[in-house]
Amino acid sequence: MSTTTADHDTQAPAAAQPAHLLSFGGDLENLIDPERLAALQASYARDFAALNAALARGEVPSGFDDKRFVDTAWQAQPGSAGIAAIYLLNSRYLHALADAVEGGRKQRERIRFMVEQWTAAAAPSNFLMTNPRAMQALVESEGETLRKGIGQWLSDAANGQILQVDPTPFKVGESLAVTPGAVVYENRLFQLIQYRPVTPSVQARPLIIVPPCINKFYILDLQPKNSLVRGALEAGFQVFMVSWRNPDESLAGLSWDDYIGDGVLAAIDATRAISASDTVNAMGFCVGGTLLATAAAVAAARGEQPCESITLLTTMLDFADTGVLDVFIDEDHVSMRERTIGSLAPKPGLMRGTEFARTFSMLRPNDLVWPFVIDNYLLGKTPPAFDLLYWNADSTNLPGAMFGWYLRHTYLENRLREPDALEVCGVPVDFGRIRCPAFIFASREDHIVPWQTAYASRQLLGGESTFLLGASGHIAGVINPPAANKRHYWAAPSAAADASADAWLGQATRAAGSWWPAWHAWLGQHGGGEVPARESLGAAGYEPIEPAPGRYVAEPA
């Protein structure tokens, strides 16, 4: 945003007229009730006049609570403080205008999203000449920060994404995903990892984990201190993990049916055979939960119930409210994907992992985009070494045909939730046929899977269900080991499955710490009793192929 505070007697600069800076296919002001618009304009005029008067008196604005401007360099110079204050005022006004828009839900969401993108990009902290901290560093380093910043920008431009993490300390299988185990089955789509027990006895019924196929599985096994896998092993469970293949062009034609039949159901069958158990406890995370529930419904339509229980972590089965991701979905977008990389394309292609990464970063631009622009390019810093950000940047492709089916039948049409509306693997899908107990977990601040949407799964599943609500977001809410003694969760054991999300929350009580022990206790009720842990991994016909984490997870996008 370009503005000046040098001459306070001049008329407000262009940056002070934000309503005219955006166009959403028409005049934004015409989408707002005239009385509300007049009130917003009057409020803005008063606030801007007061700010302009304060700046004219040489006063440094106070009350900066935005993390982008907390550095003392912003308050040390009246000009910089004024630029930041004007920007924040304009930003608040633009967001107020967006919130006041009348019309359809999707239109309002898209306007809010675009306003967020524009205001995040226009922050004066993002530009060298208006960032006093960057200018100070430039002078003190005699230009070295700019030299390093330009070099990093050129490198990022060549790679097609902003470097968010120093990758040097991390290597999958050495510093990440180090829980001991072996690959005991594989096909073209996934490897099945069996982890080595760490307790003398284990629950007879195994736990198989289905991670999202749009990310690599080791988010659930980052390091021993925060590994959900290790936590389950220490609680006395046999643990198996699906490690999805990172598809290349040869797998671009794989379908949703392939991910169900050759993926989840094949993994469940192999786990049952290796553990000599008729049924399994199965857990799915994010879209892995959608795949797991679909597979369980396919099995039920065939007269089978291979799951003794299912756990769904931050999972959507009902896509009526998909949160901020909904701004990307409409008929034109889905049709374009189908024609270019999906089932209607002359040749199926891939949904590239780097595009996923950019999209998810755009959902939180002030956390996952612009701070790295400032640190990498303006300050010439090396990004931090952070395991979660390393995983986040380790992209995964998806087959175009599978991705197109998923977009159309879930996000766009929401037909997967309708009993028998769709056929998968040749049978009609109805989540109501899944009779086993379900444990459903959601994160209260999740911007990818709104917690109320995750809660809606209770009304679709045919068995009894338990719901827990954790604090924090999509990842941090799930990866919350007890030893860290962080955060909290809410539980309402007596709440009926047909209660609304708000009614459930009204009955819930807050508990400190991790939700993992509560899940372990619930899972233990379906474990089948303790048996001695086996020393060897695999079984006849399922001999170990290679040590965990296997080679599939190492494949780059």
Beta-carbon count within 10 A of 354 CB: 14
Active-site option among 213, 286, 307, 436: 286
Residue 430: CB partners within 8 Å, gap ≥ 6? 297, 300, 301, 419, 420
Give the DSSP per-residue string, 114-128: HHHHHHHHT-GGGSG
Q: In whole angstroms, what is the distance from residue 342 CA to residue 355 CA?
A: 16
Give the DSSP per-residue string, 367-395: HHTHHHHIIIIIS-PPPP--HHHHHHHS-
Nearest to 552 by CA among 341, 403, 401, 394: 394
Task: Indicate the length of the chain as a whole number.
Answer: 557
Q: Which two tokens stand for residue 146?
A: 């700019």
Based on the number of CB atoms within 10 Å of its own CB, is 525 exposed (0-12), middle (13-18) or buried (19 or more)? exposed
Beta bridge partners of 192: 185, 242
Residue 99: CB partners within 8 Å, gap ≥ 6? 112
For the CA atoms of 444, 446, 447, 453, what is the dihedral angle to 10 degrees? -70
Asked if 337 contacts 403 with a C-beta cutoff of 8 angstroms, the reply is yes
Q: Each residue of 154-192: b (16+ CB within 10 Å) or e? A: eebeeeeebbbbeeeebebeeebbbbebbbbbbeebbbb
Give the DSSP per-residue string, 6-39: S-TTSPPPGGG-GGGS--SSS-GGGGB-HHHHHH
Query: Is 286 a known active-site residue?
Result: yes
Nearest to 427 by CA among 542, 231, 265: 265
Q: In whole angstroms, what is the distance from residue 205 CA to residue 419 CA?
A: 30
Chain centroid to Cα 109, Å, comes to 18
Q: How far is CA 25 from CA 28, 107, 476, in A?
A: 8, 11, 37
| SS3 at position 84 | helix
Asked if 105 contacts 327 with a C-beta cutoff of 8 angstroms, the reply is no
Q: Which two tokens stand for residue 12?
A: 């407000």
Nearest to 264 by CA among 234, 233, 298: 298
Residue 539 DSSP class: B
Name the residues annotated as catalytic.
286
